[in-house]
Amino acid sequence: MASKTAKKRNAVVIGLFFILFFGFAVNLFRIQIIDSKYESEASVSSFTVTVEAVRGEILDRNGYPLVTNRQVNKIVFNYDSFPRDNESRNRIISQLIALFDKNNTEWNDNLPIEVKGDSLSFTEGKENEVSYLKSEAFLDLNYYATVENCYKALSDRYSLEAMSLSEGRDVASVYYSMVKNGFNTGRNYVFASDVSNELVSVIMEKSDIFPGVNLQISSEREYTDGTVAPHVLGMVGPISEGEYEAYKESGYTINDVVGKSGIELTLENQLRGTNGVKKITVDSRGNRKEEYTVEPVNGNTVILTIDYDVQKVAQKALADGIARIEEKNPSPSHLAGAVVVMDTRTNECLAIASYPTYDNSTYAENATELNTDAATPLWNRALRSTYTPGSTIKPAVAIAGLEEGVLTADTRVTCAGIYKYYEDYQPGCIDTHGRQNVVNALFNSCNIFFYETSRLLGIDKLNSYFKMFGLGEKTGIELVESTGTVDSVELRESKGELWTPGLTIQAGIGHGDNQFTPLQLCSYASTIANKGIRYKASLVKSVKSSDLSLTVSQNQTQILSQADFSEENWALVHEGMLKVGTEGYADFTDVPEKVAAKTGTTTVEKRVNGKMRETYNGFIITFAPYENPEIAISVVVEGAGSGVSTAPIASDIMEYYFSVSDKAETDRQENTLLK
């Protein structure tokens, strides 16, 4: 009996032991495995961010980078998850500002109010921003409201009363920019750009106290040299409401950056990529892991026809030439001008320069000054300005006269200094040239000879030849360009004016209402060099995938028109231009090749310091080598005094082009991937 009781007691003890052991094991499993997993997961923070696609690069014809990108971190406020009440918003904004200040990192501070001790003042030079602050769109105050009035309105609206003056002003600055930049469901507010990874990690790890504050990985344009071809390359900027309406069907968001001018604008659809999504995980030890859930697709690479070195030389030649002209003939206003350099075999633009100019890499800092500068440095004079071409028109008039039979190689016109065909209108010449044939008339730029030729041709014939050369016609280049005008009976009638015989002969020396762009004048020079073959002007050589492995599009040389003129007539016109280039100007003697050229001068009235003043624009068109042309150049300088003074500019470019065997100042090799 005792034995059975002992056995039963032992069984109970053993059972209890197993129950306790099982309970301990279960608890240990829960602590070490299940709870450990939860604790581990709790110690890891993860979040997803939109990764903006890298915008396509822009290269020169040899593969040298002109515009590239660098990655930047932006801290943004997301409207849908950002608190709505002022108390929560103020806490987040104030803590962020303190964190950024502690880390010596800039945040976007644009409020035009400064705190000096215990007083406030409007920021000097920020009159437009102050006007917006007071405007109906924001505070809706009277235009004469004081800075104290403005801050009181800000404080009341955003509950800043409990803050110090300095802290309240900073928080108000964020609200100011949020409103001005249209912070809403479709548009994030960028609190700061170019934030370090370390500071980003601190902010993201504190997402519980910074609700609605996110990271946006983006890229910004970077320029190898922001002074090189800024008018050609153009710039990018935040999409406007109008642009968004035009682009939104193509998948753009209100937060996108788009091309605003130049190639950045006209090739926006090629340069833009497709955004991706990245998941970022940070564990309790601060280890960071990143992986794409959606890979971004980079924009395509655009290869221009521009030659980086020729472009730099052309810009320097233009700036130096204008400086020489100003030194010899001081003007009450600064001079301006443009240069275009083309390959005559394709009409590919090797250089397009406009002066005065600017630096693309510092545009943001200098935008206000650049946009209000009376010298209009942002304006692309090479493609957008139109000019009365003066005597550069005479080669076209000469070929027209020869082809129409009103001139021959033996024709002589006597120049006595005054054209006396009309009793009531007798314009003069720059000199008394005596008997002139077509070659010498081009060399001497004899007005009398070309008055007579134009009278015999008539305005309709003249204009038909001008159009054959593409004058007053768009060149087809991939940028925005002006059309220009050809003076005509119809044009004058549209302005309520009558056509007179005097207007016909003035058209024959490049005066009247003929208005052409420097780009058209260069294409005209190229067409003369090619004996009547006019090519479409081009600036884009090709478009390739971002890794250059795939050609998306390739420029094809295109003939716009082809004149069937006699070789004998071309020879006469070319000979006259050769005399200008080889006998007329010592400036071309250092060029290794023979240069054909024609200058021009026109009188214009320009408003200077509120008064109308008479000034003279100078022009030159050239091509070389004479026997087998490769390049054509046009130069325009506003206020040059004469066309002769523009010759050194063209000469500097020609001398460089033909003196450097590999056409490059550096040892850079052409990128074979561009082939």
For 448-479, write each residue's pLDDT tens digit: 999 999 999 999 999 999 999 999 999 999 99
Lowest mean pLDDT among 15-24, 33-42, 72-81, 293-302: 33-42
Question: Three-state DSSP class for 216?
Answer: strand
What the chain holds in terms of domains, given with CATH numbers, is: 47-82+189-304 (3.90.1310.10), 308-364+372-659 (3.40.710.10)
Q: Are 232 and 352 in contact (CB under 8 A)?
A: yes
SS3 percent helix, strand, coil of the chain, rounded to 5, is 40, 25, 35
Q: Are 97 and 171 in contact (CB under 8 A)?
A: yes
Q: What is the mean pLDDT of residues 371-386?
A: 95
Spatial CB neighbours of 645, under 8 Å, sequence gap ≥ 6: 321, 324, 325, 328, 618, 637
The amino acid at 2 = A
Q: Specify which residues 418 forms β-bridges with.
A: 428
> Rounded to whole angstroms, how far apart are CA atoms 404 and 149?
77
Residue, of 477 and 6, whose pLDDT is higher: 477
Q: Are 124 and 186 in contact (CB under 8 A)?
A: no
* Position 19 pLDDT exceeds 60: no
In eight-state DSSP terms, residue 53 is: P
The amino acid at 302 = V
Question: Residue 354's pLDDT is what?
Answer: 98
In eight-state DSSP terms, residue 582 is: I
> Rounded to whole angstroms, how far apart are CA atoms 327 and 648?
15
Beta strand segments in 407-537, E: 413-415, 434-436, 533-535
Tokens 């320097």 -> residue: 316
What DSSP line would sit under 501-532, residue for residue?
Answer: HHHHHHHTTT-TT-BB-HHHHHHHHHHHHTTT
The amino acid at 136 = E
* Position 266 pLDDT exceeds 80: yes
* Position 14 pLDDT exceeds 80: no
Closest CA to 393 of 401, 405, 384: 401
Question: Residue 662's pLDDT is what?
Answer: 46
Closest CA to 55 of 45, 65, 43: 65
Q: Longest Cα pair distance anywhere in the chain, in angstroms?
A: 159
CA angle 312, 234, 218 (to 5 degrees): 115
What DSSP line would sit under 299-329, residue for residue?
Answer: PPEEEES--HHHHHHHHHHHHHHHHHHHHHS
Name the pLDDT band for 46 (thresholds 50, 70, 90): confident
Question: Residue 239's pLDDT is what?
Answer: 85
Question: Residue 609's pLDDT is what?
Answer: 67
pLDDT in tens, 635-645: 999 999 899 99
Tokens 């050239």 -> residue: 622
* Position 667 pLDDT exceeds 50: no
pLDDT in tens, 500-529: 999 999 999 999 999 999 999 999 999 999
Question: Three-state DSSP class for 146?
Answer: coil
Predicted TM-score (pTM) of the model is: 0.82
Q: Are 318 and 656 in contact (CB under 8 A)?
A: no
Q: What is the mean pLDDT of residues 149-178?
A: 95
Name the pLDDT band for 616 (thresholds 50, 70, 90): very high
Neighbour-count burial of 372, counting CB atoms closer than 10 A to its CB (0-12 exposed, 13-18 middle, 19+ buried): exposed
> Rounded to whole angstroms, how far apart are CA atoms 590 and 643?
19
Name the pLDDT band for 39 (thresholds 50, 70, 90): very low
Q: Which two tokens stand for residue 192?
A: 């700061």
Instruction: Work out the mean pLDDT of the chain and round it to a whole number.
Output: 89
* Position 367 pLDDT exceeds 80: yes
* Position 187 pLDDT exceeds 80: no
Closest CA to 318 of 339, 295, 300: 339
* Position 32 pLDDT exceeds 80: no
pLDDT in tens, 86-112: 999 999 999 999 999 999 999 999 999
Q: Are 89 and 316 in contact (CB under 8 A)?
A: no
Question: Residue 42's pLDDT is what?
Answer: 45
CA angle 535, 540, 541 (to 5 degrees): 85
Antiparallel, parallel or unpaired: β 434-436 and 189-192: unpaired
Alpha-carbon dihedral sign for residues 329, 334, 335, 340: positive
Closest CA to 311 of 285, 278, 348, 346: 348
Question: Residue 611's pLDDT is what?
Answer: 75
Q: Are 471 and 524 in contact (CB under 8 A)?
A: yes
* Position 21 pLDDT exceeds 80: no
Spatial CB neighbours of 204, under 8 Å, sequence gap ≥ 6: 45, 47, 215, 280, 282
Name the pLDDT band for 329 (thresholds 50, 70, 90): confident
Name the pLDDT band for 11 (thresholds 50, 70, 90): low
* Position 661 pLDDT exceeds 70: no
The phi and psi torsions of 14 (rounded to 5 degrees) equal -65, -40
Cβ of 252: how many Cβ atoms within 10 Å? Answer: 18
Question: Three-state DSSP class for 515?
Answer: strand
Spatial CB neighbours of 410, under 8 Å, sequence gap ≥ 6: 437
pLDDT in tens, 543-598: 999 999 999 999 999 999 999 999 999 999 999 999 999 998 767 988 999 999 99
Q: Are 618 and 339 in contact (CB under 8 A)?
A: no
> Rounded to whole angstroms, how far apart are CA atoms 26 and 20?
10
